Amino acid sequence: MTQVKPAPGGRMLTVLRVHLPSEIPIVGCEITPYVLLRRPDGGVFTDDVSEAAPVDGYFMRYKWYRIQSDRRAAICSVHPTEQATLQCIGCLKSKIPVAKSYHCSAKCFSDAWQHHRVLHERAISALNENGTEDDELFGRFGSGSSSSGIISAALSGSTSNLSQSSGVNNGPTPVYPTGTEKSSGETWFEVGCSRTYTATADDIGHVLRFECIVVDVETQGTVRAPTSVMTSRVIPAPTPTPRRLIPVNAADAMGHFDLDSRTSSFGTFTVLSYNILADTYATSDTYSYCPTWALTWAYRRQNLLREIIGYHADIICLQEVQSNHFEEFFSPELDKHGYQALYKKRTTEVYTGSPQAIDGCATFFRRDRFSHVKKYEVEFNKAAQSLTDAIIPAAQKKLALTRLVKDNIALIAVLEAKFGNHGTENPSKRQLLCVANTHINIHHDLKDVKLWQIHTLLKGLEKIAVSADIPMLVCGDFNSTPGSTSHWLLARGKVDHLHPDLAIDPLGILRPLSKLTHQLPLVSAYSSFVSMAGVGYDLDHQRRRMDPATNEPLFTNCTRDFTGTIDYIFYTADSLTVESLLELLDEDSLRKDTALPSPEWSSDHIALLAEFRCKPRVRR
């Protein structure tokens, strides 16, 4: 046992406080406790003190322990803070990961069945598409969530004998491993020796204990007793409902695509647009309905990364990416998956927070599919300054800039395809693609500023189009609903001069109204669900999630206070065609957890993804 060394005169490094950013650990997410220390001189700080860089002859030593009780516990796959009382035998039969088979109640299983059965369908296809045994097993679940399938899947008895229940996990392996050294019905495993620990699948259902202690460099003796803190039980990372890629081309009769195994075919490419919700905005005050642990960046970043990587997109356009998160997380992580990164953070004339927390737009593309040709950065603040210098009287410039300067930006990338021009008249000619990624002003009462920003972006894209025969994509969070002047300008190339939004123009920046046009043949990708002539269950199902008046999704943003569409992928219809679209989510299923973000979905927006094919060029 290490001897505790008394402190000379009480002057030493002291642990004042230890607490966890979230009491609930999640598998795959780092846990870094806050450790408040006091130096011998009285100064207080939270930095780590390693043996290699001691403070006044002292350093910190850390230990993590997993405490396993004799009483086994399984966790509900839908409500991970609840213990399970039901296990779906269909999951076991299909060799679906056992953690996904657990439910806390019959109602939980019933409510989740619509999405849970997708796991079954995919597993059946992978194991035995024609097996009569599987048909017999899963058929009885398909008639409805209140059918006898729930009774068949129910586990009798308490959670303490879950793995021994009738009809449940019949394999020889226990639900959770047991240790060999026990004390008072508990077994302690040392699982980590650094300040940060990442929970593993072995930790599910168990409590973790973190200990830190001050150590003397010279004697290696500890000073005082350890300071410790306990977590709640470790829970598995919630699994979002799988989203499929739905073909919209009437000539494509293949059915839906499995994103897990699919790659873009020759001549096609996929584009993802997603506002990931910057950490600085993901507060409990704003999203009080979301569990605190699910709002932590340590959890959200892993959940977002899993989702983004799972879409296998060739081009990724993300909004609300904090500059520190881009540099420290997204850029290096996506680099591992073959993506090159471009980034533009917002300007800071208005922003008053931490420089590292300023967010921006990040565009990633697969190196094996595209190469980078050119990058353009649009700073709407600079355009605002030029506009006020040109049309606003000197006495009103300060007031005008207060209204116009909002720090919004756009990132435009010109890429060259590496997959060639199959089927074109001139296959040796370079296939270029222009991708705009933007986040437009959020203020609902500044409709004139939104419209002006979008018009400014489109005029810039027109200049690129004039200089090169190039397909274009315009992606992002436009903070503009279908039917607004901003949406009209994007989708129709002009604005109705009688539109009520135009009444808000105190600076006269929209005059003359005749200038509110553009020549780009832009079409909203998701309008293909309504406009294409294809038929079938998948298309009909998606069309019910579209607004027939605007041909746009019913929502792309779903919070407690607002549900509507503000995110879009626009494309130039003369040079691109839509092949397939990522299926839309159902609002009722999202609202089972009130709104977004939730433990399953880590942003208040949903991701949009479209597959495109370049049209053969017509010789002019």
Q: Report pLDDT digits (tens) over 146-182.
A: 333 333 344 433 333 333 333 333 233 333 333 334 5
Q: What is the mean pLDDT of residues 430-440?
A: 96
> Domain check: are 206 and 339 in the same one?
no
> Domain check: are 307 and 188 in the same one?
no
Interval 304-332: pLDDT, tens? 999 999 999 999 999 999 999 999 999 99
Interval 521-565: pLDDT, tens? 999 999 999 886 666 768 888 999 999 999 999 999 999 999 999
Comparison of pLDDT for 264 and 507, the residue scoring more: 507
**Above 90 in pLDDT, residue 48?**
yes
> Domain check: are 425 and 461 in the same one?
yes
Measured between alpha carbons, how far is 76 from 239 in angstroms, rounded to an integer? 11
Which of 116-120, 351-355, 436-440 is modeled with the greatest confidence? 436-440
Q: How confident is the model at residue 358 (pLDDT cuts 50, 70, 90)?
A: very high
> Domain check: are 249 and 215 in the same one?
no
> Domain check: are 269 and 231 in the same one?
no
> Domain check: are 379 and 484 in the same one?
yes
> Domain check: are 278 and 196 in the same one?
no
CATH code for the domain of 331: 3.60.10.10
> Domain check: are 441 and 292 in the same one?
yes
- Starting at the edge strand that comes first in sequence, how are the strands of the sheet with 207-216 ordered? 186-192, 58-69, 207-216, 222-233
- In one letter, which amino acid is 241? T
Measured between alpha carbons, how far is 477 from 570 in angstroms, rounded to an integer? 12
> Domain check: are 295 and 200 in the same one?
no
Least confident of 341-345, 418-422, 537-541: 418-422
Average pLDDT over the chain, rounded to an integer:
85
Is there a domain that residue 69 lies in?
Answer: yes
pLDDT of residue 70: 67
Interval 567-599: pLDDT, tens? 999 999 999 999 999 999 887 767 655 799 999
Q: How confident is the model at residue 96 (pLDDT cuts 50, 70, 90)?
A: confident
Measured between alpha carbons, how far is 332 from 313 in angstroms, rounded to an integer? 17
Is there a domain that residue 370 lies in?
Answer: yes
Measured between alpha carbons, how far is 532 from 346 in angstroms, rounded to an integer? 37
Comparison of pLDDT for 536 and 446, the residue scoring more: 446
Q: What is the mean pLDDT of residues 115-133?
A: 65
Range of the structural domain that residue 31 is part of? 10-125+179-236
Measured between alpha carbons, how far is 440 from 334 in angstroms, rounded to an integer? 25
Comparison of pLDDT for 67 and 8, the residue scoring more: 67
> Domain check: are 120 and 34 in the same one?
yes
3-class SS at 370? strand
Q: Where are the extended beta strands (E) located within 234-335?
A: 245-247, 268-275, 315-322
Is there a domain that residue 3 lies in?
Answer: no
pLDDT of residue 138: 36
Among the listed residues 96, 60, 99, 92, the one whose alpha carbon sits nearest the alpha carbon of residue 78: 99
How many independent structural domains does the chain possess?
A: 2
Is there a domain that residue 33 lies in?
Answer: yes
